[in-house]
A and B are shown apart, each in its own frame.
Chain A
Amino acid sequence: GEQVEQRPPHLSVREGDSAIIICTYTDSATAYFSWYKQEAGAGLQLLMSVLSNVDRKEEQGLTVLLNKKDKRLSLNLTAAHPGDSAVYFCAVSENYNQGKLIFGQGTKLSIKP
């Protein structure tokens, strides 16, 4: 079945710098890709999602890139600020019609002043 690897597990960047988190997946039929943010003690907040026919999507300082050839999904946060400190998860769905999300292991992002 589908396997998702996320890296790095921990990431520390200075305020104003950019941060990049990467996920790789194994199933070329994977159809749906998303990123979530989890603040301490809270649930998961959906940040962005793309379908497999999209290579790039930008919204509010976030950029999602999808490289289907390399089976790689990335999240780029530009101009990080303290409110971005959280754990970030990628989540993919093997099939467009299937509800099951498969999550990466998470990246704990810390923003240094």
Chain B
Amino acid sequence: DPKIIQKPKYLVAVTGSEKILICEQYLGHNAMYWYRQSAKKPLEFMFSYSYQKLMDNQTASSRFQPQSSKKNHLDLQITALKPDDSATYFCASSQDGLGGREQYFGPGTRLTVL
């Protein structure tokens, strides 16, 4: 059974619209993360959460907003979508709130903005 679920697997959106990427982990972890992988850049860290609190935000734009409704959920809301937002977005989690060690990744959501 998959331990980290990301939904949807593929997502197509029009410029200017808003989408929510879903992430749920069933590893019992306390820390969760979002990363982005695009053709132009290596995997980039976006956010980290520990015990549902934002720990680090490396995303310059406020159009990206993580949402943690439950300890094992960390969704990513993206507003005013742009073609440059096209990428695969990976959710990850780790055991302890300090993070860094042994992050496990979900299968990703591939977002295409037209």
Cα A106 to Cα B41 with chains together (Å): 10
B contact residues, range: 20 to 34
In the complex, the answer to whether B50 meets A44 with C-beta atoms within 8 Å is no
In the complex, the answer to whether B100 meets A96 with C-beta atoms within 8 Å is yes
Are A100 and B107 CB-contacts (below 8 A) given A49-B102, A105-B42?
A: no
A96 — nearest CB in chain B belongs to which residue?
Answer: B100
Q: Which of B36-82 contact A (CB under 8 A)?
A: 42-45, 48, 50, 55-56, 58
Chain B residues near A110: list those with CB within 8 A: none
Q: Which of A24-65 contact B (CB under 8 A)?
A: 31-32, 34, 36, 42-46, 49
Chain A residues near B102: list those with CB within 8 A: 34, 46, 49
Contact with A along B78-113 (1 / 0, CB 8 A): 000000000000101010001111111111100000
Chain B residues near A104: list those with CB within 8 A: 42
**Total contacting residues, chain A, CB less than 8 A:** 25
CB distance from A53 to the nearest CB of B (A): 13
CB distance from A49 to the nearest CB of B (A): 6
CB distance from A100 to the nearest CB of B (A): 5
In the complex, the answer to whether A43 meets B99 with C-beta atoms within 8 Å is no
In the complex, the answer to whether A99 meets B56 with C-beta atoms within 8 Å is yes
CB distance from B108 to the nearest CB of A (A): 5
In the complex, the answer to whether B106 meets A43 with C-beta atoms within 8 Å is yes
Those 6 A-B pairs whose CB atoms lie nearest each other, nearest first:
A99-B99, A99-B48, A103-B43, A93-B100, A44-B105, A43-B107
Residues on B facing A (Cβ under 8 Å):
4, 31, 33, 35, 42-45, 48, 50, 55-56, 58, 90, 92, 94, 98-108
9 residue pairs of the A-B complex, CB under 8 angstroms, read: A44-B43, A49-B102, A89-B43, A97-B99, A98-B99, A100-B45, A100-B48, A100-B58, A101-B45
